Chain A
Amino acid sequence: MSLTFRIVPCFTLILIVSLCASTISFSKEDTPQTAEISRLVKALKKGSIPSRLEAADNLASYGAKARRAYPDLLKAMKRARKAEDVTSYLSAILAVTDDHEDAFELFLQNWMQ
């Protein structure tokens, strides 16, 4: 009896923890929107210039939901040489976050060169 009483709560606890973990994992990985944003961020990091620009445009359409792309957008903006490309990344940054200070500074730095 005593062993049974000790094993049941342990199993229950494990079951509950694993259920919670799987729920969290499922909600995080399996939303198509999140998956798409991840794919776009990846394109932003490793894609060619046209695919980076396309990714930035697409990320902008997600608005604040693509907030996590901000650091990579900033990096892409830093790497860009053409004014129109810089503007595309800036537009995406304006769309995904309210924090524009660094982006503006970057734009002006490029402009001064």
Chain B
Amino acid sequence: MKGGKSKKRQNMNEYLLHLGEANPVTDDLISLIFHLQSNRDIYKFTLSKILFQYTTERPELMDQWLTQLPANAEVVIGIAENMGEEALQFWPRILPILEQAPRPTLRLVISLDDLNHNEIVDFVIEGYRREIATKSLFLSYDLKQYQKILVKLAGSNPDIDAFIQLRMNEQEFYELGTQVITNGTLTPSLSELLNDTLATRLIDTLATTTLSPEEVDASSANKLTIQDSQRLCKLIGLLGPTSAPHIEALMQASRPDAPVTQRDNCIWALAQSKKLTSQLQTYFEQFLSIDASELASAIDETSKKIPIKTRDDRWTLTVVDTNTYFKQRKSLSQYDGTAPDLTPLYAAAFLLKHDAGHQQAQALAEALYQADLKLIDHDGMRAVLSNSSDALEKVIMEHPTILDVSRYGIVGFTSHLRAVVAWTTPMETLASAKANKPEELNALISDGLASNRRARVINTAVLLQAMDQPLHPDHQSILVEKLGSVDLRDEVRLYLSVLAKGAPTLELVSVLQQMKSETLEADVAKTVNNMLLHFDADLGSEGSEGSMGVRVN
């Protein structure tokens, strides 16, 4: 019954909306609308829309609304919302009634391009603080909207960030900062302010409890602390640690007796340092003396525990949100507890990135490469799997830079591949060591592409994708061959994106044309078509002889 009534009300409002199209806008028509305001079946939205339409016919009416409707703030703000940027001219008059209608005001503010008005900033900060204070446990719709606006604001004006920080307490600023880091644009001063806040918070968090691996499972409070520390490390890493306190905090968080997942994130954050200081060099060098085969078996053990789900013999990704799927939580905690310690790999990667000639790091990178670790690059996983799962796509969209495997995802592969996601891989690390030796680097890449290990090929393709140079003919030939024989449809996108940097050889064009005649997913078909058109245009511009007789159908 309730549904029927609601439907009737909706139909009535849809009908009434047409009254907005009535023209000319006579005074008694306006009186009629005012009269209708008292009808509880009429949505404020409907009234605002109608009155907005009348205002476009008779602009002088806005003045009348502002005078006559202070008691019905929602309708006035609704009219302003429909006006968009035009509403700014009335801002001083709308201001006194903003608080009476926060949600339409939010919608209005979101629709504005220019947010740098003190009144808007005040309104948004106060609203955000109120939401944090009252609904700190849940991310309410309004809180998200306030955050969205503040993230936009923080990147739009170099002065506004400090102003925002001054107005907020540490918790509020921290909550906002995490949003800005992951979803927004950081100004240098905000970056610095946030880094300090995060480092202080990390030190405080670490000080609240002792974090030994045994205690991780023993107490859920400890688990929360670990998750918080992981998150803080990642945020600092994304900002790039810049000062001694940040480095100190990260070193403390990644000390050898800390839980592995925490270490993993905090070491990664430390490796985001822009400079190789002697302190960092000494710190990272202590991790280099490990046996590569031990690490390989640890990774093997972990990968065996990755739950496998298959569907049509394709890669399938199981994205597990620990907050939602209690049943999956057990397998997640098992994974957490046995995650391999990749610190040596991260240490070698960092040292070689800053000093390609670091011999001990080189030796370890070589050993890790030869040990054939079952690792898949974080970016590679995104590139390959992003089209395989809507759920992962959603997670990536929400967390474009942070894909927290321990919290959000466990990758379940078919028998073709089981691998653990890592921030970097031995392939990438070894490539850093050979950065100044082009021939050796090319040989390494050829070896990686020709490998029969799927993860290694993917990691090599990701490396090529990131390299700022044209594709080497040898690498292109191997990739074209792989593309021609590929039964692993998920990698196609990755290979195509690498081959787009290549030359339009006869082999490549014919493989593309062959693909074109097959049934492809829409985005792949589009990429193939674009590449063929692009190559054909290139060849055409070089002369008719250059087109090798290949034509795009």
Q: Residues on A close to B: CB < 8 A?
A: 83-84, 86-87, 90-91, 94-95, 100, 104, 107, 110-112
Q: Is the CB of A111 within 8 A of B22?
A: no
Kindly identify which residue among A87, A110, A112 contacts B22, using a CB–CB cutoff of 8 Å: A87
Contact check, A83 vs B14: say whether CB atoms are below 8 A apart: yes
Interchain CB contact under 8 A, B24 and A94: yes
A86/B24 contact (C-beta < 8 A), A111-B12, A112-B12 known? no
In the complex where A104-B32, A112-B12 touch, is A84 in contact with B26 (Cβ < 8 A)? no
CA distance A94 to B22 in the complex (A): 8
Instruction: Report the minimal beta-carbon distance from B533 to chain A, rounded to whole angstroms.
Output: 45
The docked-state distance in angstroms from the alpha carbon of A102 to that of B26 is 15
**B503 within 8 Å of A (CB atoms):** no
A110–B509 CA distance with the chains assembled, in angstroms: 65
Instruction: State how many angstroms separate the Cβ of A104 from the closest Cβ of chain B.
Output: 5
Chain B 1-41 against A: per-residue CB contact (8 Å), 1 yes, 0 no?
00000000000101111110111101011001000000000
Which residues of A sit under 8 angstroms from B17, Cβ to Cβ? 83
Do the beta carbons of A83 and B22 come within 8 Å of each other? Answer: no
B18 x A86 contact (CB < 8 A): yes
User: Closest chain A residue to B41 by CB distance?
Assistant: A112
Set of chain B residues within 8 Å of A87, measured between Cβ atoms: 18-19, 21-22
Please pick, from B14, B16, B19, B26, the residue contacting A100 in the complex, using a CB distance under 8 A. Answer: B26
A90 vs B32: C-alpha distance when bound (angstroms): 13
Q: Which 9 A-B pairs have the closest CB atoms?
A: A83-B18, A87-B18, A83-B15, A91-B22, A111-B15, A87-B21, A91-B23, A90-B22, A100-B28
- Across the interface, name the chain A residue whose C-beta is closest to B32: A104
- In angstroms, Cα B24 to Cα A94, docked, is 6
State the CA gap A28–B293 with chains docked (Å): 109
B174 vs chain A, min Cβ distance (A): 51
Q: How far is the CB of B183 from chain A (nearest CB, A)?
A: 41
Contact (Cβ within 8 A) B19 A107: yes
- Taking a contact as CB atoms under 8 Å apart, the answer to whether A84 and B18 are in contact is yes
A91 to B23, CA, bound (A): 5
Q: Is the CB of B16 within 8 A of A111?
A: yes
A83 CB contacts on chain B under 8 angstroms: 14-15, 17-18
Report the Cα distance A110→B19, complex, angstroms. Answer: 12
The minimal Cβ–Cβ distance linking A81 to chain B, given in whole angstroms, is 11
List, sorted by A's number, 13 A–B pairs whose CB atoms are closer than 8 Å.
Answer: A84-B18, A84-B21, A87-B19, A87-B21, A90-B22, A91-B21, A91-B22, A94-B24, A94-B29, A104-B28, A104-B29, A110-B15, A112-B12
Most buried by A among B15, B17, B26: B15
In the assembled complex, the CB of A47 is this many whole angstroms from the nearest CB of chain B, namely: 22
Chain B residues contacting A94 (CB-CB under 8 Å) are 22-24, 26, 29
Q: How far is the CA of A112 from the CA of B36 in the complex (A)?
A: 12
Asked whether A100 and B29 contact (CB < 8 A) given A91-B23, A94-B23, A94-B24, the answer is yes
Measured between alpha carbons, how far is A79 from B378 in the docked complex, in Å? 66
Residues of A near B29 (CB, < 8 A) are 94, 100, 104
Q: How far is the CB of A87 from chain B (nearest CB, A)?
A: 4
What is the CA–CA distance of A83 and B18 in the complex, to the nearest angstrom? 6
Residues of B within 8 A of A104 (CB): 28-29, 32
Which of B12, B16, B21, B22: most chain A CB closer than 10 A?
B22
Task: List B contacts of A112 (CB < 8 A).
Answer: 12
What's the minimum C-beta distance from A63 to chain B, rounded to whole angstroms? Answer: 9
Query: In the bound complex, how far is the Cα of B39 from the Cα of A112, in angstroms?
Result: 11
Task: Kindly state the separation between the CA atoms of A112 and B28 in the bound complex, as whole angstroms.
Answer: 20
Interchain CA distance A100-B22 in the complex, whole Å: 12
**What residues of A have a CB within 8 angstroms of the CB of B28 in the complex?**
100, 104
Q: Which of A84, A95, A110 contacts B24 (CB 8 A)?
A: A95
Whole-angstrom CA separation of A94 from B28 in the bound complex: 9
Q: Which residues of A contact B32 (CB under 8 A)?
A: 104
| A90 contacts across to B, CB distance below 8 A | 19, 22
A6 CB to nearest B CB, Å: 61
Chain B residues, CB < 8 A from A86: 18
Say how far B32's CB is from chain A's closest CB, in angstroms: 5
Chain A residues positioned under 8 Å from B24 (CB to CB): 91, 94-95
B14 → chain A closest CB, angstroms: 7
- Give B11 Cβ to nearest chain A Cβ, in Å: 9
How far does the alpha carbon of A104 sit from the alpha carbon of B21 in the complex, in Å? 14
Shortest Cβ gap from A95 to chain B (Å): 6
Task: List the A side residues contacting B26 at CB < 8 Å.
Answer: 94, 100
* Complex: A112 Cα to B9 Cα, angstroms: 9
Q: Which partner residue on chain B sits nearest A87 by CB separation?
A: B18
Q: Kindly state the separation between the CA atoms of A69 and B27 in the bound complex, as whole angstroms.
A: 22
A91 to B22, CA, bound (A): 5
In the complex, what residues of B have CB within 8 A of residue A110's CB? 15
A83, A84, A95 interface centre (most CB from chain B within 10 Å): A83
